[in-house]
């Protein structure tokens, strides 16, 4: 595996090279068989393109990028010389959140729909560790996945890590057929569904097979550290306090974690504490950590789901 970098002078060059919604970048990745990432140094704000792949493929991609960059800079110099004195070219900003989080493979714009969802998404954008807590259907996992894809395609991260606690119900994993991924597949299917909806099945399978998207059962994360990754832990109410601590300490440099769960739907035994419930008390007030609570008012599924949640809530109060 060979890695080459190209330094960029400003965000405008990145936008010109990557194309609208990174269309040009994706085309070059397909044409040359490489991975191209946009990186920004947190201290200097310097932008660089990082090209990874086989040495021959990387060299060809670098030559193409440098040729295009040279043409862009030459064109920019001509525009600046032709501009009236005292005027500077207008810079182009990245897409605002109001325009949507992500455009799906089926050309659907994904947006938060409720005020709470807006705060949740803004929290994910601003913080490196975010907890989204609320009932089923509030979009906590789907919006986290959309934010993960936005971060990946804008080259803020290199990969996406998906994890869920595997809580066995009736059958032991060892007796189920297939390899590890096939054994845990039913537990991870809800996460797959979100990526199928946003990426389409072909692109999802490609990214999964090349480990741009990595599926990691929670129990198999011990001993690993994830750098430059967007990590999503779903169904976190089914973690133990020890598992939650282990998971949170997997976070490496340049990474972001979103933890989602519903504290009212734990599948742990009656005498087993929930790691999600415990961590809410432990990390309250810690700088860099954000907690967002979603309610039945944020449910965006069938209208009947909201009424079901309210009915169960009223029954439990009795």
DSSP 256-282: EEEEEE-TT---S-TT---HHHHHHHH
Least Cα distance to 262 among 89, 121, 131 occurs for 131
Q: Return the SS3 of 194.
A: helix
What is the pLDDT averaged over residues 195-223?
82
pLDDT of residue 21: 63
pLDDT surpassing 60 at residue 179:
no
Q: Which residue has the higher pLDDT, 213 or 96?
A: 213
Tokens 């894809």 correspond to what residue?
149
Highest mean pLDDT, choosing among 94-103, 217-226, 298-307: 217-226
pLDDT band at 86 (very low <50, low <70, confident <90, very high): very low
pLDDT band at 117 (very low <50, low <70, confident <90, very high): very high
Least confident of 49-53, 70-74, 199-203: 70-74
pLDDT of residue 214: 87
218 phi and psi angles, rounded to 5 deg: -55, -40
Least Cα distance to 162 among 78, 247, 81 occurs for 247
pLDDT of residue 271: 77
pLDDT band at 90 (very low <50, low <70, confident <90, very high): very low
Q: What value does the mean pLDDT of the chain take? A: 80
Chain centre to alpha carbon of residue 145: 5
Q: Rounded to the nearest 10 degrees, what angle do helices 140-153 and 115-126 cross at?
A: 40
Q: Are 120 and 292 in contact (CB under 8 A)?
A: yes
pLDDT band at 258 (very low <50, low <70, confident <90, very high): very high
CATH numbers and ranges of domains, the chain: 2-82 (3.30.1370.10), 97-317 (3.40.50.300)
The length of the chain, given as a count of residues: 318
What is the pLDDT averaged over residues 215-243?
89
Alpha carbons within 13 angstroms on the beta-carbon side of residue 315 total 7
Q: Which residue has the higher pLDDT, 80 or 141?
A: 141
Least Cα distance to 7 among 38, 43, 31, 53 occurs for 38
DSSP 45-106: --EEEEEEE-HHHHHHHHHHHHHHHHHHHHHHHHHHHHSPTT--PPP-PPPPGGG-SEE-TT
- The per-residue b/e assignment along 220-237, b for 16 or more CB within 10 angstroms, e otherwise, is ebeeeebebbbbbbbbbb
pLDDT of residue 199: 84
Least Cα distance to 103 among 214, 202, 200 occurs for 200
What is the pLDDT averaged over residues 82-111?
58
Q: Which residue has the higher pLDDT, 177 or 315?
A: 315
- Give the rounded percent of residues in the chain with a pLDDT score beyond 90: 23
What is the pLDDT averaged over residues 207-235?
87
Q: Which residue has the higher pLDDT, 114 or 190?
A: 114
Q: Which residue has the higher pLDDT, 271 or 145?
A: 145
Q: For the chain, how big is the Rg over CA atoms in Å?
A: 22
Enter the pTM of the model. 0.64
Highest mean pLDDT, choosing among 82-96, 135-149, 267-281: 135-149
pLDDT surpassing 50 at residue 12:
yes
pLDDT surpassing 90 at residue 68:
no
- C-alpha to C-alpha distance for 68 and 74, rounded to whole angstroms: 10
């Amino acid at each position: 595996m060979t890695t080459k970098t190209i330094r960029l002078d400003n965000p405008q060059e990145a936008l010109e090279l990557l194309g609208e919604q990174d269309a040009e970048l994706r085309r070059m990745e397909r044409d040359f068989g490489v991975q191209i990432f946009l990186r920004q140094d947190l201290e200097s704000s310097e932008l660089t393109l990082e090209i990874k792949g086989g040495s021959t493929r990387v060299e060809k991609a670098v030559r193409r990028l440098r040729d295009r960059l040279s043409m862009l800079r030459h064109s920019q110099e001509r525009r600046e010389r032709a501009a009236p004195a005292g005027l500077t070219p207008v810079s182009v900003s990245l897409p605002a959140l109001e325009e949507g989080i992500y455009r799906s493979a089926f050309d659907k714009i994904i947006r938060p729909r409720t005020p709470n969802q807006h705060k949740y998404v803004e929290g994910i954008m601003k913080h490196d560790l975010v907890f989204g807590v609320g009932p089923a259907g509030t979009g906590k996992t789907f919006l986290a996945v959309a934010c993960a894809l936005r971060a990946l395609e804008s080259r803020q991260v290199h990969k996406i890590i998906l994890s869920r606690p595997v809580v066995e119900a009736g059958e032991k994993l060892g007796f189920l057929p297939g390899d590890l991924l096939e054994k845990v597949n039913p537990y991870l299917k809800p996460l797959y569904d979100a990526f199928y909806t946003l990426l389409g099945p072909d692109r999802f399978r490609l990214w999964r097979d090349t480990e741009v998207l990595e599926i990691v059962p929670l129990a198999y994360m011990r001993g690993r550290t994830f750098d430059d990754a967007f990590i999503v832990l779903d169904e976190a109410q089914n973690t133990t306090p020890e598992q939650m601590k282990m998971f949170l300490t997997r976070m490496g440099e340049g990474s972001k974690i979103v933890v989602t769960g519903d504290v009212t739907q734990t599948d742990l035994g009656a005498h087993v504490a929930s790691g999600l419930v415990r961590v809410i008390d432990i990390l309250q007030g810690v700088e860099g950590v954000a907690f967002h609570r979603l309610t039945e008012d944020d449910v965006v599924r069938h209208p009947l789901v909201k009424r079901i949640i309210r009915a169960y809530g009223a029954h439990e109060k009795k």
